[in-house]
Structure formats: structure tokens, C-alpha cells
Amino acid sequence: MAERIDVAVIGAGPAGLAAAIAAREQGAERVVIIKRSERLGGLLPQCIHNGFGLLYFGEDMTGPEYERVFMRRAEKAGVEARLETMVLDLGEGREITAASSRHGYMRFRPGAVVLAMGCRERARGTLGIPGGRPSGVLTAGTCQRYVNIEGYIPGERFVILGSGDIGMIMARRLTLEGARVEAVVEIMPWPGGLIRNEVQCLHDFGIPLLLEHTVTFVHGEGRIAGVTVARVDAERRPVPGTERFVPCDCLLLSAGLIPENELSLKAGVELDPVTGGPVVDENRQTRVPGIFAGGNVVQVHDLVDWVSWEAEAAGRAAARFADKGKMPFAGKVRVSPGENVKYVVPQYISGKEDVTLHLRVTRPGRKAALRLGGKAWKRFRSVRPGEMIIEKVPVARLSQFISGGELRVDCGRGETGEEA
Amino acid sequence: MSYAETEVLIIGAGVLGAATARELSRYRVDVTLVEKNVDVGWGITKANVGVVNQGKDTLEFRPEYRRSHLLWRSLAMMEPLCAELDVPFRKVGGWEMCWDMKMKEKLDKLARRTESLGLGKDRFYWYPELKEMEPNVSPKILGGLHDPDIAVVNPVYLTQALVENACDNGVHLMLETEVLDMKAGHHWFEVATSRGDFRARYVVNAAGEWVDKIAAMVGADDFVLFPIKGYVGVLDRRCEGLVNGLVSVLPEEPGDMNIVVPTVEGNLLFGIQLQINRRGDHSTTEHMARKALENARRLVPDISRENVINAFCGFLMLRNYEIGWHECEVGMSGRVPRFINMTIGYPGVSASPGAAAEVVEVLRKDGLKLEPDPKFNPRRKGIPDFSRLSDKEKSELIRKDPRYGHVVCRCETVTEGEIVEAIRRGATTLDGVKHRVRAGMGRCQGGFCGPRVTRILARELGIPESEVTKKGGDSTHLSCRVKDILGKEEGDG
Ligand SMILES: Cc1cc2nc3c(=O)[nH]c(=O)nc-3n(C[C@H](O)[C@H](O)[C@H](O)COP(=O)(O)OP(=O)(O)OC[C@H]3O[C@@H](n4cnc5c(N)ncnc54)[C@H](O)[C@@H]3O)c2cc1C
């Protein structure tokens, strides 16, 4: 594959598709998506529930529907696909090494690269749940694939650890399929996912949500026999005496998503320890020139609509980079998370463009005030870590918030500001 | 009642049983190896840190202990054995470190002893020099003894290779065959297994965690074992390079092991948190996990909780634990003729070649006719490890077999070609694939590749996906086809 490629997009989920389409629309001639499997598209086909596209299309779609629209647009835009191809390495000078059963083993250097590898779920080992090592412990997303794609159900009696969106959605799905969901167990005092999922997937189906509880032990050696569930104290430590045995033949884990950045690390891309994704500027360029990133590889989004938008920005910028051969990192202003703000993306901005800030709060709260550079920007009736806050700030107003090369973002309790 | 007959019955396909089977396969003798699990090497051998011990790490290896001699005998054997069997063997070197001068005195003594035993001359390095070789150990370390000969192997790979080679040379392997009972007769042992009855002239009892229980079936249990559970944590490959070789500190109290060690594959292991425990209970506990991580972080501060991707426990079957943990049991039972016990609490992997050779000699001395088999082939070829091949080799392999271009496990870069080959070599379960080619061993622990490997297993074995198990027995991981569950529910009312 010695031919010239302007923009190579790694990953073909909603982020990859949107980035590639945007790169073409921006004028990049050859845009190639590199994709591991035999078809374009990512995990959306297994997300057969609705709630996709409400923002982007103003229409309530399912995952497969949402993806199909982007697939068609990609085809129309003339995006090329290199299927059944796995990127093994991303090295010096954006050199991509890939292996494929169809195209063999290859190395090439595209004009620009967009990272769109998405994210993965936290596995049992990283959660460190003690106990035996039986079968029947799997992540909610893996379960979703078995049920919705492969047509198998992994158990009949479930406990779900973590109230992430996929876990809650699977609680409903499994109940609909005739399985029993004993409980969704959440260590924090608030659910991890969206309120709409808590209501529509748990409450509407009478599935208990045990807040401030965790699984302290996995029982069984062959097939899982059950779990010990216990209350936790304010330090998230199990409270002795509150343990109880809950029999189950399947434990699903929905306790966090981690941006998939092994390739980024190989390429020397700097990661933000809080988001787990690359440090990016407003163009979604990483600290390595010519490497851009968009979607869940940067930060775990709640809604696919924002994945698409973020990846489009990355795709457009990558096309411009490929055309000019350069683009400075917009690192003039550091965006720094302040009171009750866990992170903000992008981490750097130029201060010379409109910017969309993505942020999450650390703790939930009522009557929170979003302040930029210490000045009131917006008031919220309530904020939750499970719901990303997204704010567009026009360049005209930006300068008044920036001081000393910093844009500080706070979201604590506040009395002043505009009503949300 | 009809019996299957065999000259030598080996109970247990752990590293010791496997090494013995392979050693005996050099001769024209009828050998059967029975293993209760669905795969080989899944006993204590799997729950291991893979260090090829050099017999000098603490004051444990004294000349008066038999296990010292088995280990010393094995020192020169392991590397050539791994080369013959195409098993990765990495000489990484190793450290015994200390925190203070009092501990250093012990290390000095150790170094003198090592030298006087003719086991080489290990040098002491003070921290500033040590730091050059292991830059990430805590600056609170005073210094350490360095042993350049310490190596690492993957004990499960070694066991698989030994068994494959033994079978190529005529040993009968019977999996999922549990020895349930045994009677000692004048000429034969009558052995009841979950797969029918046997008659065996000799029995080699290498049943690991259950070795004394098996011995007790015929009254050959003239030794006492203490099951000590050991906890080991696994770190993400991202931590590769945090230590270059085995890093351990001299125990401040007996049994207080604190090591961090690279594996042949690039992960790091840490532990070994010890605890007396009921046998058969392999569960990890919060306490062990916390202590092990605390210890490891004290030694290598950059190790973090987030990078622990897995953990496991195994049993050290220790003899005479009350007076230390120094002895093994390898040899003819003093009570029952033709019955050989074979167990080494630690370090059974390192001492396996010597122990196997010893058992063969014991058999020969007892009168077993051992004629060399001229057809014996000592060589076995490993499964190609795609991720470690050169560019040219990769291209060629894919051209020959496109399945090597299809990466199934993305954390560990494992291709379909490797998985199919693992199945051809005897993997019948998800863990069987994982412990041969690492699919599912990485940070996502099979979250991504699990469904895909399940599908390949079902296809290659010609079974439905719902019958694929994690590790045999009742460890299915799919319940039934979607919708079938509705029919099942009815019965419960
Ligand atoms: C945490 C830990 C770390 C260690 N680290 C090291 C190290 O770094 N280096 C080193 O050299 N050593 C190490 N050791 C010691 C080493 O692992 C053991 O000495 C060695 O693996 C023992 O091998 P084995 O073949 O005796 O036992 P096993 O591997 O347990 O094999 C016994 C086999 O017998 C089978 N079996 C049992 N009962 C029956 C039955 N009734 N019928 C049929 N089959 C049966 C079992 O299923 C098993 O497969 C470590 C041990 C532990 C626990």
C-alpha cells in the first residue's frame, strides 16, 4: 500500500464514520477507514434500544438505524474502507503498521491520522472483586453482544454491578427476554448513567437499584453460584455485618468505560489521566502533530450524537492538516477543571475560535452554577456526574474569561448567573 | 471386571507429572498420564510466578535438604529443555534486596554461602548502582544482591510442551479422568477413575494439591503437607519495563514474600501474599489483594491499583511448615512398593527436570525395564506467536495462511491462525485457548474476544456455542439461545 492516503481513520464506529465523512467534505481526497472486522460500523448494531439521534437528527432512532444513516453518508462521500485490517502499531511520523487476512501485512504513512478506537469496559480484574474465578462473570457490553448479535443468553438469574448505561439497558433487555435481574448494585450514592435509563430501564420494570452497595465476593469455581452484596460507608468500604448472599448464575459488570488508547500510547500521544483519553486542543489535535482524536477514545460520551459531532471536528481538522502538512497545536490557553469539575475537554484552546466545552462534575448537586474564569456563565437546577455538560462559548465572550493563559471552569453551588 | 492396563500410571498433568511423562517417553515403556481437569497444567502449575530459581535465594536451600539437590540438578537442564520444546525462556536476572544494614548482613551471609556451595558469586550493589539496572525500585532500598542467572518461563506453556512431546513419543494422555480410589495389590495397583478402571504396575502420584489424599488411598501418606495459599496479582502490559528482572526483598518475617517479576510475555506479576488456608478454596480475598499491592508499591512505587488487571491464588504444599518450608517428597514410598510420591511445594517448576530424572532412576532401580526408544524425538515446535515475528515473517505467514492476518484478541494481538492451532493442539475451552495463545489474557480479560473465540471453538470442535465452556465441567458461559429461556421458565411456575 505505497499509494498516498490523505487521512487514515482508525476505527469505524460512529466516531470513525463521522470523522471520515467530515474529512472528505473538507476536501481530503483519499480518506481511508481502517477496520478490524469484515464490515464497517462499530458497536451500534448491538444497541437495539432507542434514544439515538435525538440531538443530531431531532429523531428518536435505534443504534442500528443511527449507524445505517452514517454508513450511507460515508458511501456517498466516497470514503474508502480497508476492512478485516487491524492496526498493530502507530509509530514515528504517523507510520501505521497493520495486518489483514485480505491485504496481508503492511506499513504506510498517511497525511493525517484520526484516532477513533472508542472505549472498552472495565473488566473484573481491574475492579478487583475478590472470590473465585468461575464462568458467568462478564461485562454488560459483552452480554449485549451475546444477546443481540449472537442470539445467546448468558444466564437466567443476574446481578448487575455498576449502574452504567449499558448495565441498566441490559437489565431491561434481560428482563424482557425472561431472565431475572435480582438487582443493580451501585457503589456510589447516585446512579452512574442517565436518569432516563434509570427510570425507563429499572423503575419501569421494578428492578431494584441498590445505591451505596457493592459486590464483595464472587462465589463458585465452575459456574458462578452467587455473590455477596454489602453496604458501603462514606469511604466506599464495605460495612461489616451488612453482607448478604445473592444467588445468581451471571454477574454483569457495568462499572465504567475506559477510552481505548493502547495505539495512542504507542504513538507517544499524551493522555489525560482523568479522562483516560488524549490531551487535545479545540481541533481535537493531540500533542503529536497530525494525529487527531474524536469520540469515546477522547472522553466517554453519554450520547452518540456528541460522539459524531466531536469526531467531525477531528476529521475536518485532519483534512486541513493533510492538505497543508502542518497545523500548530492550539495550546495558548489551558482549560483547567476547578471546583466540582472532574475534567474538561478540550484541555487546550487557542482563545481565537468559538469553543464547545465538554465537562463532567465530580459530585451531583442542586442549583449548581457553571463559572468560567470565575464569572457566572449558567445555572443548573441539578448536575450529576452521569450527565455530561456541554457548553458552546462564542469567541466574542471567551476573552473575558481567560486570564494568565488559563480558562478556569467551576461548577459548584452558586447564586448568580443565567438560568439554564 | 475388565481393566485397562498400563505399566506406569502418572496421576496429575502438572509440571511434575508432565516432566516425568516426557522423561519416560524416551524409553519403550507403556505410560498413561491421567488428569482430572479438561486441560493440562491447570493445578498449582497455573498459579505460579514462573521464576526459574537458582537455589540460593534465601537460607532455604541447604545441602541437607533433598529439594536443594533436585533443584541444583535442574539448573543446567532447564534452558536446553526449553530450547528443545520451543518454550520461551528469558534470562532476566534477579535481585534480593534489603532495606537496612541488618538485612544487608543477612544478604552478605547468603552471598558467602552461595559461593562456598559453588553456586557462583553474586555481587552486592548499593542503591545508586542498583538504580542503573532497576530505576523504578524505591529509593528507600539500601541495596541488593544480583543474580544474573535468574530466568522466567511460563510454567503452563512448559507443561503443555512436555505433554505434547510425551504424547508424540507414545504416552497416553487421559483428560477429565479423576482418580477416585486405589488399591495396592501384590503386582498391580487397581485404580478407579471417573473414566473407568485401570491396572498399573507403578504409580507416580503427582497430584499437586491432592497428592497426600491420593497417597492415603493406599496408605503411602507418610508425610504431612500444609496447604499455604499464595496470592499473585497481574499488572497490565503497560507496566512492562517497570522492573527488568525479578525484584524481591529479603523477608523481614518468615513467609513474608514480596516480589515483582516480569513474565515471558511482558506483564508483571506481584505477590506472593501467603496465608494458611483450607485446600480447594482458590478464592482471592480483599485482605490478600490489599496487602500484596501495599507490599509491591513499597518496593516499586509506580505500581498502581489501576494497572492490576487480574489476580489468582495457588497452593504451596509445604512439608514441615512448622520448622520452615524446606522439604519435598520425591521418591519411592517407604510403605508401599512401586508407589512413587512426587510433590515439591516450592520451587516445583524450577526443579521439575531434575525431579523427573530422579523418578526415572528410582523406577529403573526398582527393576522397571527401561530400553531407550530409538524413535524418540526430543523436539516439539511451539505455536507461532504472531505478535513477536519480524515484518517479513508476518507477511509470509499471512500469505501462507490468511487466518494469521485476522486479529481476534486486540489486547494481546492474537490471530485466528494461532487460536485454531491452539485448538488443534488440544485446547477445548476458553481458558485452554487463553493459556496457549493469550487470547483473553489482556486488560479487557476477554470482554472483546470472548464471543469471537467462543465462535471459533464451536466451529472447530463442531459443537453449539452454548456448549463451549470457560474451563470444562459446569463452567458454561452461555445459558441457551435467546427465547429458549422462556420455555425453561414455565416449569418453575
Ligand atoms: C503462588 C505460587 C507461586 C509459585 N512460584 C514458583 C516459581 O516462581 N518457581 C517455581 O519453580 N515454583 C513456583 N511455585 C511452586 C510450583 O508452582 C509448584 O511446585 C509446582 O507447580 C507443582 O507442580 P505439580 O505438578 O506438583 O502440581 P500441579 O500443577 O497441581 O499438578 C497436579 C495435577 O494433578 C491433578 N490431580 C489432582 N488430583 C487428581 C486426581 N484425583 N486425579 C487426577 N488428577 C488429579 C491436578 O488437576 C493437577 O493438574 C509457586 C507456587 C505458588 C502457589
Instruction: Tell me what pLDDT residue B119 has.
Output: 84
A249 to B469: CB separation less than 8 angstroms, yes or no = no
> Phi and psi dihedrals of B275, rounded to 5?
-165, 130
B308, B315 Cβ separation under 8 angstroms: no
Measured in angstroms, how far is the CA atom of residue A218 from the centroid of ligand 1?
24
Query: A146, B478: Cβ pair inside 8 Å?
Result: yes
Cis before A346? omega within 30: yes
Interface of B with A in 169-228 (CB under 8 A): none
CATH number of the domain residue B461 falls in: 1.10.10.1100
Same domain, B73 and B115: no
Establish whether residue B207 lines the binding site of ligand 1, counting it when its CB lies within 6 angstroms of any ligand atom: yes
**Nearest chain B CA: its distance from A261 CA (Å):** 11
Summarize pLDDT for A366-418 with one digit per residue, the tens: 999 999 999 999 999 999 998 999 999 999 999 999 999 999 999 998 654 44
**The A180-186 sheet, strands edge to edge:** A137-139, A250-253, A157-161, A180-186, A209-211
Residue B171 belongs to some domain of the structure = yes
pLDDT of residue B324: 56
- Residue A34's H or E segment, with its range, is strand A31-34
Based on the fold, state whether residues B197 and B113 are members of the same structural domain: no
Which chain B residues are Cβ-neighbours of A216 within 8 angstroms? 286
- Domain count for chain B, please give it: 3
The three-state secondary structure class of B202 is: strand
Report CA(B43)–ligand 1 centroid distance (Å).
Answer: 5
Pairing mode of beta strands A95-100, A104-108: antiparallel
Based on the fold, state whether residues B269 and B295 are members of the same structural domain. Answer: yes
CATH code, domain with B8: 3.50.50.60
Confidence check: pLDDT of A56 > 70:
yes
pLDDT tens-digit profile of B419-438?
Answer: 999 999 999 999 999 999 99
B66 and B176 co-located in one domain: yes
| Total number of residues shown for chain A | 420
B493 is a domain residue = no
CA of B325 to the centre of ligand 1 (A): 16
Tell me how far apart the alpha carbons of residues A280 and A271 are, in angstroms, rounded to a whole number: 9
Predicted local confidence at residue B62, as pLDDT: 79
Looking at the DSSP bridge assignments, the partners of residue B304 are none
User: Are B217 and B330 in the same domain?
Assistant: yes
Q: Give the pLDDT mean for A173-183.
A: 96
Residue A318 three-state SS: helix
User: What three-state secondary structure class fits A18?
Assistant: helix
Residues of B in contact with A156 (CB under 8 A): 479, 485, 488-489
Instruction: For A120, name the nearest residue in chain B, comparing CA atoms only.
Output: B444
Which residue of B234, B238, B312 is in closest CB contact with A133?
Answer: B312
Determine the longest span between alpha carbons in chain B, in angstroms: 76
| Interface contacts (A, B; CB < 8 Å) | 160
- B364 and B429 part of one domain: no
In this structure, are residues B215 and B205 in contact, taking their beta carbons and an 8 Å threshold? yes
Domain end residue (candidates: B382, B410, B428): B382
Q: Could you say which of B410, B466, B474 has the minimum Cβ distance to residue A223?
A: B474
Does some domain include residue B491?
no
CA-to-CA dists, residue B234 to A45, A252, B265, angstroms: 33, 22, 12
The span from the CA of B386 to the CA of A324, in Å, is 37
Task: Tell if the CB–CB gap between B410 and A124 is shorter than 8 Å.
Answer: no
Indicate if B11 and B83 belong to the same structural domain.
yes
B33 lines ligand 1 (CB under 6 A): no
Cα B365 to averaged position of ligand 1 atoms, centre (Å): 26
Give Cα separations from A186 to A224, B142, B310, B396 (angstroms). 20, 44, 21, 50
What local confidence, expressed as pLDDT, does residue B325 receive?
Answer: 56
Check CB contact under 8 Å for A105 and B398.
yes
Chain A residues near residue B310 by CB distance under 8 angstroms: 125
* Closest-CA residue of chain B to A107: B391
CA-CA distance, A400 to A103, in Å (whole number)? 54
Q: What integer pLDDT is reported at residue A305 of this predicted model?
A: 96
Complex prediction ipTM: 0.88
Domain-terminating residue out of B317, B342, B370? B317
**What confidence score (pLDDT) does residue B493 get?**
36
**Which residue type is seen at A388?**
M
pLDDT at B446: 87
Asked if residue B157 lies in contact with residue B81, where contact means CB atoms within 8 angstroms, the answer is no
**DSSP annotation string for A126-190:** HHT--B---B-EEEHHHHHHIIIII-EE--SEEEEES--HHHHHHHHHHHHTT-EEEEEEESSSS
For ligand 1, mutation pick of B48, B70, B325, B359 (most atoms within 8 Å of CB): B48
- Mean pLDDT along residues A162-166: 94
Pick from B109, B69, B176: nearest CA to B426: B176
Q: B15 and B39 in one domain?
A: yes
What's the pLDDT at B65?
Answer: 84
**Residue B4 belongs to a domain:** yes
Nearest CA to ligand 1 atom 16: B348
Residue for grid cell 460520551: A301
- Predicted structure pTM score: 0.92
Q: Are residues B313 and B459 in the same domain?
A: no
Alpha carbon distances (Å) from B284 to A123, B226, B230, B231: 16, 18, 9, 7
The total of other beta-carbon atoms located within 10 Å of residue B493's CB is: 4
Cα distance between residue A24 and residue B41, in whole Å? 54
Q: B156 vs chain A: nearest CA distance in angstroms?
A: 18
- What part of B 302-331 touches A (C-beta under 8 Å)? 305-306, 308-312
The rounded distance, in Å, linking the Cα atoms of A358 and A391 is 7
Q: In this structure, what is the dihedral angle of CA atoms B412, B417, B419, B424, given to the nearest 10 degrees? A: -150
Grid cell 421458565 is found at B489
Q: What is the CA radius of gyration of chain B?
A: 23
| Interface subset of B 110-129, CB within 8 angstroms of A | none
Residue among A121, A125, A132 whose CB faces B308 most closely: A125
Rounded-to-integer distance, Cα B472 and Cα B172, Å: 20
In sequence order, which residues have a C-beta less than 8 Å from that of residue B64 and are 6 or more positions away?
none
The residue behind cell 490471530 is B415
Return the C-alpha cell found at A207: 428492578
Q: Which of B269, B292, B317 is the last residue of a domain?
A: B317
Which amino acid is present at A80? Answer: E
Residue B51 lies in domain? 1-88+153-224+321-382
- B145 near B107, Cβ under 8 Å? yes
Tell me how far apart the alpha carbons of residues A237 and A314 are, in angstroms, rounded to a whole number: 41
Kindly state whether B470 is in contact with chain A, defined as any CB-CB distance less than 8 angstroms: yes
Residue B490 in contact with partner chain A when CB distance is under 8 A: no
β-bridge mates for residue A370, sequence order = A378
* pLDDT at residue A419 in the model: 41
Q: Is residue B326 part of a domain?
A: yes
Buried b (16+ CB within 10 A) or exposed e, A71-109: bebbeeeebebbbbbbbbebeeebebbbbbbebbbbebb
Q: Which domains does chain A have, with CATH numbers?
A: 3-120+258-324 (3.50.50.60), 123-255 (3.50.50.60), 333-412 (no CATH)
- Per-residue pLDDT band for A103 (boundaries 50, 70, 90) equals confident
Residue B22 lies in a domain: yes
**Pair B172, B198 in one domain:** yes
Would residue B145 count as lying in a domain? yes
State whether B60 and B22 are in the same domain: yes
Decide if A177 and B466 are in contact by the 8 Å CB cutoff. no
Measured in Å, residue B425 CA sits from the centre of ligand 1 at 21
| In chain B, residues 374-393 whose CB comes closer than 8 Å to chain A | 386-387, 391
Instruction: For residues B412 and B265, state if they share a domain.
Output: no
In angstroms, what is the span from residue B34 Cα to ligand 1's centroid?
Answer: 15
Q: What is chain B's pLDDT, residue by residue, as a tens digit (493 residues)?
A: 456 899 999 999 999 999 999 999 999 999 999 999 999 999 999 999 999 988 875 567 778 888 889 999 999 999 999 999 999 999 999 999 999 999 999 999 889 888 888 888 889 999 999 999 999 999 999 999 999 999 999 999 999 999 999 999 999 999 999 999 999 999 999 999 999 999 999 999 999 999 999 999 999 998 888 888 999 999 998 899 999 999 999 887 766 789 999 999 889 999 999 888 888 899 999 999 999 999 999 999 999 998 999 999 999 888 866 555 567 889 999 999 999 999 998 899 999 999 999 999 999 999 999 999 999 999 999 999 999 999 999 999 999 999 999 999 988 999 999 999 999 999 999 999 999 999 998 888 888 889 999 999 999 999 999 999 999 999 998 888 888 877 665 444 3
| Residue A268 to residues A164, B70, B341, Cα–Cα distance (Å) | 30, 47, 54
What whole-number percentage of chain A has pLDDT above 90?
Answer: 89
Q: What CATH number is given to the structural domain containing B98?
A: 3.30.9.10
For A341-364, write each residue's pLDDT tens digit: 999 999 999 999 999 999 999 999
What are the grid coordinates assigned to A205, written together?
420494570
Is the confidence at residue A72, as pLDDT, over 70? yes
Is A154's CB within 8 Å of B402's CB?
no
B333: in domain = yes
Residues A354, A355, A356, A357: is their CA dihedral positive or negative?
A: negative
Q: CB of B350 closer than 6 A to ligand 1?
A: yes
Walk across the sheet containing A7-10 and list its strands: A80-82, A31-34, A7-10, A112-115, A291-293
